[in-house]
Amino acid sequence: MTATPDFADWLAICNLKADYCRLLDTKDWEGWKQLFTEDCVIDTTGSGGNVATGREAFVASVRGALANAKTAHQIHSPQIRLAGDEAHVIWAMQDRVVKDEFALTGYGHYDERYVRTGEGWKIAEQKLTRLIMEIDRPEG
């Protein structure tokens, strides 16, 4: 039987992911960067992206893609499995990205590995998979 996570860890991980959504949507790039380990591996191939290694490269890539976009990220239904100083978490997600050339609504999952550091929990690995992507393009 899988052990139930300590509530303090569960709450800290949930708050970190809430920060992830808020800081990303408000374009607080420096604050958002602090949520990841320096050597994080981020895989967005399941939603049409690529694999980024290292938080500097990943944040720079996302910033370049979304700096002029309006976004809203929401996460739901965390499945948290804690094993000492690591946690495996799957989140249901929905996001909306609006740019001049398109508007995207996505539904899928974040599959993540968190590690406990001296500064608290951080995202070490993330895989984003969108099961549905609805893309609207302006006519003209």
Q: At 82, give phi and psi (nearest 5°).
A: -100, 135
Per residue in 71-92, pLDDT (tens digit) is: 999 999 999 999 999 999 999 9
* Domains of the chain: residue spans and CATH: 7-136 (3.10.450.50)
What CA–CA distance (Å, rounded) separates 63 from 1?
A: 41
Model confidence over 14-47: pLDDT tens digits?
999 999 999 999 999 999 999 999 999 999 999 9
The model's pTM = 0.93
Instruction: Give the Cα separation of 84 and 18 in Å (integer).
Output: 22
